[in-house]
Chains A and B, each alone.
Chain A
Amino acid sequence: MRLTRLTAVAILAMFIFACSIERVPLVATDVSIKQPMPGMQMTAGYLTLSNNTTQAIKITQVSSPQFDSVEMHESVVEDGMARMYPLGDLTILAGRTVQFEPGGKHLMLMRPVGEFETVTLEFHADKAIVLTLNVALSD
């Protein structure tokens, strides 16, 4: 009887845990945004985005109240030339991870608005915000 009750509690806990995972479809780790360099109106942001759902997630826009504009870009070196491309929409397949890292994909944050030490990033999938992050600026 006691064992049955314990089993029921365990199943309930697992169910709650599973639900909590389902509520966080997109998880960000290793997030960093550098303080804009002196005199500069822009900086770069880096992070790892993991899609924990069973469906692809398409990020259509990234915004921040602290910057006029946030764009997803990718730096590449092709035939000895350093180039930067806007990514447009970014699709993260089910269960996959996408890395934004120096020399590759990055967030380009342009024209800071006022003084701040923490940046709020909002990741949009069409009209819905699917992830909000608060990131302290790093040196």
Chain B
Amino acid sequence: MPRANPLLEKMGPRNRFIAIVAVVAIATGAWLSFQVMSPPAVPQTATVLPAPGPLPEFSLLDHEGNAIGRDVFSGQWSLVFFGFTHCPDICPLTLQVLADAKKQLAAAGSEPLPQIVLVSVDPERDTPELLGQYVRYFGDDNLGITGELVEIRKLTGGLGIFFEKSAVDGDNYSVDHSAVVLVINPRGQFHALFSAPHEAANFVHDLPLLMRRR
């Protein structure tokens, strides 16, 4: 038979009751203060805009050749990257990171899942058809956007995205471009951004928090 606590044995029933109530009260207080004092989970990598703003107006094409405007972003969260299909390293690397993040979010049961969008900064070579093959390689639900250079500049200019052609050799050229990934919320507003270098874990951690804080 285990022996009762000698201290409790010496107490009368009334004092024992008071001691137990005191212990329970202290434990509850400690738990409550921990809940209140510990900071809420916040995005670690994303920069959240204090006042999300609307996207500029534009008239472009999706990867199926349909005319689209800024309302293409309404109704779902979007992760938007600016790149081009003739980019063999950074662009596929980034799109793969975004695809991996989306896969991990889906596996964790996170909802809603963001759509991945590639806006071409090389419309001269990126036809809707080519862009479609490229974005679908990283996921069937992905969206590619291309069209007239002047219309692309309306979109990028309003979002602080820069790009410019750079010669590599002969007819071959590359396009230098901003490396950020933008987060557009379901109201079609520029909500947050992730700076390079990109890692899937950053999106997996921050996106559910961003979506909850809307």
Binding site for B on A (CB under 8 A): 37-40, 42-44, 71, 73, 75, 77, 80-84, 86, 102-103, 106, 108, 110
Task: Give Cα A53–Cα B178 distance, bound, in whole angstroms.
Answer: 41
B186 located at the interface, meaning its Cβ lies under 8 Å from any Cβ of chain A in the complex: no
83-141 of chain B: CB within 8 A of chain A: 83, 85-90, 92-93, 129-130, 133-134, 137
In the bound complex, what is the Cα–Cα distance between A39 and B90 (angstroms)?
18
- Give the 9 A-B residue pairs with the shortest CB-CB distance, closest first: A39-B133, A44-B88, A82-B179, A38-B133, A83-B176, A75-B89, A82-B90, A84-B174, A77-B196
* Contact A84–B169 (Cβ < 8 Å): no
Residue of A nearest to B134 (CB): A37
> Chain B nearest CB: distance from A75 CB in Å?
5
Q: Any chain A CB within 8 A of the CB of B180?
A: yes
CB contacts under 8 Å to A, within B159-206, are: 162, 166, 168-169, 172, 174, 176-180, 195-197
* Complex Cα–Cα for A71 and B121 (A): 22
19 further A-B pairs in the complex, CB-CB below 8 A; given A38-B137, A82-B179, A86-B169: A37-B137, A38-B133, A40-B86, A40-B133, A42-B88, A43-B88, A71-B168, A71-B169, A73-B88, A77-B196, A80-B178, A80-B180, A80-B195, A81-B162, A82-B176, A84-B90, A84-B166, A86-B168, A103-B90
Q: Which residues from A are CB-within-8-Å of B129? A: 39
B88 engages A108 (CB within 8 Å)? yes
A40 touches B134 (CB 8 A): yes
- Total interface residues on B, CB under 8 Å, equals 28
Residues of B within 8 A of A (CB): 83, 85-90, 92-93, 129-130, 133-134, 137, 162, 166, 168-169, 172, 174, 176-180, 195-197
Contact B168 A81 (CB under 8 A): no
Contact check, A103 vs B85: say whether CB atoms are below 8 A apart: no
User: B86 contacts A44, CB within 8 Å?
Assistant: no
Note all chain B residues with C-beta closer than 8 A to A80: 178-180, 195-196
- Report whether A106 and B162 are in contact in the complex, using a CB–CB cutoff of 8 Å: no
How distant is the Cα of A106 from the Cα of B87 in the complex, in angstroms? 12
Task: Return B84 CB to nearest CB of chain A, in Å.
Answer: 10
B contact patch SS: mixed
Set of chain A residues within 8 Å of B196, measured between Cβ atoms: 77, 80, 82
Chain A residues near B174 (CB, 8 Å)?
83-84
A4→B69 CA distance, assembly (Å): 86
A77-B130 contact in complex given A42-B86, A43-B88, C-beta closer than 8 Å: no
Residues of B within 8 A of A106 (CB): 88-89
Give the distance in Å from the alpha carbon of A42 to the alpha carbon of B162 in the complex.
25
**Contact B88 A81, beta carbon cutoff 8 Å:** no
Q: Is the CB of A110 within 8 A of B89?
A: no
A selection of 19 A-B contacts at a CB cut-off of 8 Å is: A38-B133, A38-B137, A39-B129, A39-B134, A40-B85, A40-B86, A40-B133, A42-B86, A43-B88, A73-B88, A73-B168, A77-B90, A77-B179, A80-B195, A81-B178, A84-B90, A84-B166, A84-B174, A86-B169
Q: In the complex, A71→B129 CA distance in Å?
A: 27
A81 to B174 alpha-carbon distance, docked (Å)? 13
Residue with the highest number of chain B CB atoms closer than 10 Å, among A37, A43, A110: A37
Q: How far is the CA of A102 from the CA of B174 in the complex (A)?
A: 17
